[in-house]
Structure 1
């Protein structure tokens, strides 16, 4: 079993920091470190804790998160109420993997985190990096780039996770019935969630002797 990806939140608002930490802890395979309320404490935590990912605000009491981007050699996503194009361009130019404008729903950040986990796995594979795999890794970081269908996809994914969380271990057919989608669509989402590590797959043999895949939420 691999260790959880550790996430440092640099956020001056105590309540927002705690809220975002709960969003992170809600994703299997991720663990939030204690939030840092200032840029200086954030830099200290980065050096001491060596997190896998930083979630950082632009507005900090002692520094700009945009300036800190150039001082930390860690994967970083910006979470900020700063919605002006200049801030967003600067963040992306300085290496931010994503930029989420506050306020946002838990599902939006959690989708980004699952995409980040997939991105890490793709870039951790051995062998030469092909352009196709590079594009797949990039798209994993930006789940909304495919257009209008992306929001529906996120809602469906959340519904699939909710069905598994409330009903326990289920088959593809049972998930499809619970969510109100086709078996093909359910299988596509289940496979994607399994790739992300959000759910686990087990085999159960029925009366005919044929194995059936069963899905459940991954234990933390």
Structure 2
């Protein structure tokens, strides 16, 4: 097993410097640096994978959760369809700045968006491990989902 700080063969092969020995199918970085980001994430994953406390990863959601715990910011391209990075930042800020837990309605009031929109962003953060959810049970009806920043 490779130790932390060693190279990741698959990543190094994908991102080898361009030249005559480089296969023509090797992706080349574009102006947005998305391949640099992928290389960084692959190296972070390899370091965690080779650590003694490696997590069991069974699907993409597990991979996203592990990467987000390391403090990796979710890039715009990773947002689900229909979510904007600007609104995601507003919801994140509202969640971070609130000392306790927020409901979707409270978050919506703070940000100035609809409750349904706030809930979509909050659930996205919950699904990626960046927010924790707890349920508050009332006398009747469905329990209220309350969110706290965990990232």
TM interval, shorter chain, is 0.5 to 0.7
Give CA deviations for 1:195-218 in whole Å, capped at 9, x if unaligned: 110001100112436411000111
2:71 is aligned to none
What TM-score, normalized to structure 1?
0.38
CA distance in 1, matches of 2:59, 2:116: 25
2:143 is aligned to 211
| Of 115, 125, 131, the match for 1:183 | 115
Following TM superposition, by how much is the alpha carbon of 1:141 offset from its aligned partner in structure 2, in angstroms?
7.4
Higher helix share: 1
> What's the Cα RMSD here?
4.4
Query: Which structure carries more relative contact order (alpha carbon 8 Å, separation 6+)?
Result: 2
Q: Mind listing any 5+ residue stretches in structure 2 that lack a counterpart?
A: 16-26, 38-43, 45-57, 64-73
Q: Number of aligned residue pairs: give it.
A: 108
Task: Give 1:1-220 correspondences, 5 Å limit.
Answer: 47-49=2-4, 72-73=8-9, 90-91=28-29, 98-99=35-36, 121-122=59-60, 143=77, 153-167=84-98, 168-208=100-140, 210-218=142-150
Give CA deviations for 1:50-79 in whole Å, capped at 9, x if unaligned: 68xxxxxxxxxxxxxxxxxxx633658x9x
Segments of 4+ moved more than 3 angstroms: 96-100, 144-147, 207-210
